[in-house]
A and B are shown apart, each in its own frame.
Chain A
Amino acid sequence: MNVTTPLSQDVINSLTINDQILITGKIYTGRDAALPKLIELYEQGRLAENGISLTGGVIFHTAVSDAGIGPTSSNKVEIEESIPLLSQAGIKIHLGKGKLSDATVAALKAHGSVFAVTPPASALLTAKMTHKRVAAFPEEGIEALYELTVVDFPAIIAIAHGRSIFDR
């Protein structure tokens, strides 16, 4: 299925676990360093003044460097802790890798968001990126909040509507 950002709630409602999707449009990136800072901006009501809109957005758990992009483990403490609040703030797809806790599965369901995974295939994934810019926190270098433009970025829906692909 092809999806384009910003994502509507109808699109998210139509996704189920095991769906293979291709994402096109602008997405944000962030990981251990940037996500807690992004949450601070949200809680302070300062997203707009920093030119950040999370509504219907995708956030990809990756660094951005000359070595390319690729998912980091989303179950690292600061990353997984960001998922409930950023879902509340408007993020619809959290994109990374790894099993998430039952509490996070429940939080995603409560906020109508999903978790998707993509392989650490950096040479391939980087080829899907057509533009990048630092959106915030440049002091974090490769861990800054980036805005990427991607075309047909591949992923699989792993957690949606209270169901997890990792539960077997």
Chain B
Amino acid sequence: MSKLHYDTVVDRIADTLVTASTTFTPDQMRAYAHCKAKETNPNAGWVLEKLIENAEEAEKNALPLCDDTGTPHVIIELGKDATLPGDFLPAVEAGVAEGLRRLPARAMGVLGDDKERVSQKKGLSDDPGHLAMAPLRIIAIPGNAIRVTVLMLGGGPELRGKTLRVFHKHNFQVVLDEMVAWAKEAVALLGCQPAILAFGVGRSNFEASSLALEALKNADFDVQTDVEKEITDRVNAEHIGALGLGGDTSVLATFVKIGAQRASGWRVVSLRTECCVGPRRATCEF
């Protein structure tokens, strides 16, 4: 990749990170408007209204949707006929750091050696770009496109996430019921309802959590499968409501990605309980 190309990738990735952090997709805005219109709890309706206003303000002025601007995660979709230059990945990494500064993101990079980073005893970096992106994932796609999706994952959902084996007893409903039980517990504790639920079902902890992230990348609020709708409806029946204040919208939508499975009596399920500003993601194509 030439110097110009490197700089172009850095710039495009930085812009994509800013878009992910400041913009709801049109289908997500439609989902919020639909829920606001049918909400019967006045306080929950007030919260939904504020979240819509917040999204409008954030997009208009390129401001972060949430002050927890999140940890950057990147998924690259690589066309089978595309050529990926050797400095593409460093350019993506540099673009993420530039995007964090351009936003600006909350400076959350922790300083120090291994023990100091865990205990946070050495304090934080002043540089928003110090927050390194998480290990990235590459997915093969047809054609010659290179698509890069940046997802900004906030801290609240990490507290309510769960990845664990589920014994399926050769019955899909058993696994589904367990997923719903996890979701009910997690959404009740979230604090930033309505939640956007993402599930991955795979053969290992790594694979299941990767699939949950892929489900968020693909999220289309206009399209819900029967399984996704059932999970949403069953959690909404708890009437946890926006901000936990009661009401009809505890979950805005659910996204499920089921991967390959192996011969065994268990499946690994991963739940990410995205908060009301999620999934903050945007995609650019090269």
Point out residues on A near B: beta carbons under 8 Å.
18, 20, 33, 62-63, 65-76, 97-99, 117, 119-124, 126-127, 139-143, 154, 156, 158, 165-166, 168
Contact across chains for A66 and B104 when beta carbons are under 8 A apart: yes
Chain B residues within 8 Å of chain A by Cβ, number:
46
Are B67 and A122 interface neighbours, CB within 8 A?
yes
Interface residues of B in 32-47 (CB under 8 A from A): 43, 46-47
Q: How far is the CB of B167 from chain A (nearest CB, A)?
A: 30
B50/A66 in contact, CB under 8 A = no
Name the contact of B43 in the complex, choosing from A70, A97, A143, A156 (C-beta under 8 A): A156
Task: Name B224-270 residues within 8 Å CB distance of A.
Answer: 239, 242-246
Against A, the Cβ 8 Å flags (1 = close, 0 = not) of B207-230 are 000000000000000000000000
- Chain A residues, CB < 8 A from B108: 142
Which of B43, B105, B275 is close to A120, meaning CB atoms less than 8 Å apart? B275
Query: Which of A33, A70, A99, A165 lies in contact with B68, CB distance below 8 A?
Result: A70
Q: Which residues of chain B come closer than 8 Å to A126, judged between CB atoms?
A: 63, 67
Closest residue of chain B to A18 (Cβ to Cβ) is: B43
Q: Which of A119, A124, A141, A168 contacts B124 (CB 8 A)?
A: A141
B106 contact from A33, A67, A156, A158, Cβ within 8 A: A67
Q: How far is the CB of A147 from chain B (nearest CB, A)?
A: 17
Query: B156 near A73 (CB under 8 angstroms)?
Result: yes
Query: CB within 8 Å of A: which residues of B?
Result: 43, 46-47, 50-51, 53-55, 57-58, 61, 63-69, 103-108, 120, 123-124, 126, 128, 155-156, 159, 188-192, 239, 242-246, 275-277
CB-defined contacts of A122 to chain B, threshold 8 Å? 54, 58, 63-67
When A120-B275, A126-B63, A141-B123 are in contact, do A67 and B103 touch as well, CB less than 8 Å? yes
Chain B residue with minimal CB distance to A124? Answer: B54
CA distance A63 to B46 in the complex (A): 24
Cα–Cα, bound, A70→B156 (Å):
12
- Is A121 within 8 A of B46, CB to CB? no
Q: Would A120 and B277 be within 8 Å (CB), given that A62-B67, A72-B68, A142-B124 are in contact?
A: yes
Q: A73-B191, A121-B54, A123-B58 are in contact. Are A158 and B245 (CB under 8 A)?
A: yes
Residues in A whose Cβ lies below 8 Å from that of B53? 121, 124
Q: List 11 A-B contacts (CB under 8 A).
A: A67-B67, A67-B104, A68-B63, A70-B66, A71-B191, A98-B190, A99-B188, A119-B50, A123-B63, A124-B53, A156-B243
Assess the A165–B246 pair: CB atoms within 8 A. yes
B50 touches A69 (CB 8 A): no
- Contact status B51-A156, CB under 8 Å: no
What residues of chain A lie closer than 8 Å to B106, measured between beta carbons?
Answer: 63, 65-67, 142
Assembled-state Cα–Cα distance A109/B105 (Å): 38
Residue of B at shortest CB range from A66?
B104
Knowing A18-B43, A98-B244, A124-B57 are in contact, say whether A67-B64 is a contact too (CB < 8 A).
Answer: yes
- A67-B106, A97-B243, A98-B244 known; A120 and B192 CB under 8 Å? yes
Q: A74 CA to B159 CA in the complex, in Å?
A: 12
In the complex, the answer to whether A156 meets B128 with C-beta atoms within 8 Å is no
A119–B43 contact, CB under 8 A? Answer: no
Q: Is the CB of B123 within 8 A of A140?
A: yes
* Residue of B57, B188, B242 contacting most chain A CB atoms (<10 Å): B57
Q: Given the complex, which residues of B lie within 8 Å of A63, measured CB to CB?
A: 67-68, 106
Name the 4 nearest CB pairs between A and B, nearest first.
Answer: A98-B191, A121-B54, A70-B67, A123-B58
Contact partner of A20 (CB less than 8 A), chosen from B43, B54, B188, B243, is B43
Complex contacts, A121 vs chain B, CB 8 Å: 50-51, 53-54
Q: A122-B54, A156-B46 are in contact. Are A168 and B120 (CB under 8 A)?
A: no
| Contact B276 A65, beta carbon cutoff 8 Å | no
A28 and B52 CA atoms in complex are apart in Å by 27
Q: Which residues of A contact B103 (CB under 8 A)?
A: 67
User: Inside 8 A of A141's CB, which chain B residues have their CB?
Assistant: 107, 123-124, 126
